[in-house]
Structure 1
Amino acid sequence: MALAPIPTIPCWQLIPEGPAIQGIDPAGTVRFITQDFGAVLQSLGDAAPDTERMAVCAAAWLGIRPDTVPVSRRLWAYVCSPFAAPTATQQQRHRIWAQQLARLAWSHGFWPIVPHLYAPQFLDDTDPAERTLGLAWGLQQLAQCSVVYVLAVPPSPGMQAELAALTPDHVVCHVPLDALPPLPTSCTANP
């Protein structure tokens, strides 16, 4: 099943389609659907200011290993996934998804930035004032990132705020749930 682009994001978007990827530019124009990295570079050209970031993202999705990227030169990738949940089981599921997205971003050659895993270590997510502070801090981190990994699930209120804060300078990588490892059975029930 092909994922649909998020229409309100005025930035580059990468959407996996089976073994291929689809690249959509900030104007909403499909620039490529391919499995060939050379075709990605050819369709982007040298004129696009975000060519390097888009090429790095496309290469990662096409399985080109980023092992040659020195740790000191890795771009930051923001992880956008749900966090808050009404039950402990759902909370655990969201935490694992965020960890898996972070691992995926790392394996693609990026430094993953995941405020919703870090901030709850010292902020109370159930306290509205502290949650607001945590979300604001996360948006500051988002502004510093070049790439955003978005879990392709219905966006939570926190995700909606993050998606609304994206700019044309971001490259968005849509990640379908089936691209992540299976969840442990302890968090697959729906209590």
Structure 2
Amino acid sequence: MIIGYARVSSTGQNLTAQIDKLTASGAEKIYQEKQSGLDKDRPELAKALEFAREGDVLVITKLDRLARSAAHLHQIVEMLDKKGVGFRVLDDASLDTTTRTGKLVFGILASIAEFETALRKERQMEGIAKAKLEGKTGGRPKTVDEDRIKAMKEEGLSVPQIVKETGISRAAVYRALAE
């Protein structure tokens, strides 16, 4: 069975062109939704993926209608492959996992996506290491002057008095005193 999936990002957009293409390609069942591709929960996509059985083919009109990123696309296609479900993009004939060439192209694209992810992670780690060398640790800057709080406690002020004078929370005072 050919299963179609159509999606537009907002309610102002129209699904008609996608549905027409999917129907013309032989889609017998079409799942459709008006939802951002960045949303993690896309119920109709989940239903389409759940419905697909061995021997079926999931068809979309354009690649960006399905996945949020190359990694997300790879995850979806890998899951389909494990179920024995093919995958085809109508506007890009080279992306068709029901053919040997399509599987090869998809494998190459998946490898490139994995390589890009590794490069991005490597650059991120280099940036973190550089920041650490410069004494920047990341995270939110401290707003509590721990030395001042400790000095106030040594002067004999109670925790409630320190809270009142500094305007910080009781928990923050206790944390500063514990360090």
Same fold (TM over 0.5): no
TM interval, short-chain normalised: 0.3 to 0.5
Structure 2 length-normalised TM? 0.34
Give the strand-richer structure, 1 or 2.
Answer: 1
Higher relative contact order (CA 8 A, sep 6+): 1
